[in-house]
Amino acid sequence: MKKLTIFFVFIVFVWFGVQQAQAVVGTAQNVPPCVPTVIKPCNNLTSLEGSLPVLLSPTILAKKPLRQGSTGLAVKELQQILHDKGYLKGPIDGKFGLNTTKAVKEIQKLMKLKKIDGIVGSETMSNIQNSEEKEETIEIVSKNSKDKLFKDYSCKESKEGKLSIWTGETYDKAKNYLYRLSDVWSTTDGTNWEKEASATKMGEGSERMIVKVKDTVYSFGGKYKPTGGDFDTAIYKSTDMVNWTYVGETPNFSRYFDKSAIYFGGKFWLISSEETTGGGVMGIWNSSTGEKWTKVADAPWDGLKKNSVSNEKSGYDSNSLGAYVIGSKMFYLVYDRGTMTIFSSSDGKKWTNEGALVNSKDNSDFNIGTNTNPSPVIYNGKVWIMSTVVGTSDPVVINTSNGKSWNLVSSSKTSFAPGYYSSDVVFQNKLWKIGGMNNASGNDNTIYSSDDGIEWKKIEVKGVSEFPGPADRYLAGAMSMENIKTKATDLKIEREQNSTSYLTGNDETGTTLGKWQLFAEPGKNTKNTGDIVISTLSFLGTDYKSSLGNEFSTLESLSNIKIYINDVEVGSISKFSGPFYDKSGKTALTQTITLDKPFTIKNGENAWVKLVADFPAPKFKNYEMRTWLAGVGFEDAYSTPCNLYSEDYNGGQYISKMPGRNLYFKNK
Shared-domain flag, residues 596 and 623: yes
The residue among 121, 35, 159 whose CA lies nearest residue 640 is: 35
Please check whether residue 281 lies inside any domain of the structure.
Answer: yes
Domain boundary among 423, 447, 481: 481
Strand partners, 344: 331, 352
SS (H, E, C) 597-651: EEEEECCCCEEEEEEEEEECCCCCCCCEEEEEEEEEEECCCCCCCCCEEECCEEC
- Mark whether 370 and 512 lie in a shared domain: no
pLDDT at 28: 27
In a domain, 263, yes or no: yes
Q: Within this chain, do residues 429 and 398 fall inside the same structural domain, yes or no?
A: yes
Whether residues 496 and 601 fall in one domain: yes
Rounded-to-integer distance, Cα 411 and Cα 456, Å = 12
Q: What is the pTM of this model?
A: 0.55
Q: Are residues 615 and 650 in the same domain?
A: yes
Q: Where are the alpha helices (DSSP H) in 525-611?
A: none
Residue 619, Cβ density class (10 Å: 0-12 exposed, 13-18 middle, ≥19 buried) = exposed
Beta strands 649-650 and 21-26 are unpaired
Domain-embedded: residue 521:
yes
In a domain, 154, yes or no: no
CA distance 382 to 360: 15
pLDDT per residue as tens digits for the range 336-367: 999 999 999 999 999 999 999 999 999 999 98
**What's the confidence (pLDDT) of residue 16?**
27
Extended strands (E) in 405-504 = 406-410, 423-427, 430-434, 437-438, 442-443, 447-450, 457-458, 477-481, 491-495, 501-503
| pLDDT score, position 343 | 97
Q: What is the pLDDT of residue 523?
A: 66
- Omega within 30 of 0 (cis) for the link into 32: no
- End-of-domain residue from the set 426, 449, 481: 481
Do 513 and 477 share a structural domain? no
Both 169 and 88 in a single domain? no
My answer on whether 497 and 473 are in the same domain is: no
Under-70 pLDDT residues of the chain: 1-63, 132-137, 140-160, 278, 372-374, 411-418, 439-442, 483-486, 498-500, 522-527, 543-551, 619-623, 637, 647-656, 666-668
Backbone φ and ψ of 95, nearest 5°: -115, 115
Give the pLDDT confidence score for residue 339 in this predicted structure: 94
- 394: Cβ contacts below 8 Å, ≥ 6 apart: 388, 411, 412, 418
According to the model, what pLDDT value does residue 587 have?
Answer: 80
- Whether 354 and 475 map to the same domain: the answer is yes
Bridge partners of 236? 219, 246
| End-to-end CA, the chain | 55
- pLDDT score for 405: 96
Domain for residue 23, yes or no? no
Q: How many domains does the chain have?
A: 3
What is residue 644's predicted lDDT score, i.e. its pLDDT? 80
Nearest Cα to Cα of residue 264 among 322, 209, 329, 212? 329
Could you list the residue range(s) of the whole structural domain that residue 635 is in?
Answer: 491-665
Are 512 and 594 found together in one domain?
yes
- Asked, for residue 18, whether it belongs to a domain, the answer is no
In a domain, 576, yes or no: yes
One domain, residues 63 and 173? no
Beta-carbon contacts of residue 428 (< 8 Å; ≥ 6 apart):
161, 163, 189, 190, 480
393's CB contacts (< 8 A; 6+ apart) are 418, 438, 439, 440
Let me know whether 416 and 270 are in one domain. Answer: yes
The pLDDT of residue 34: 29
Query: What is the structure's pLDDT at 35?
Result: 28
CATH number at 84 reads 1.10.101.10
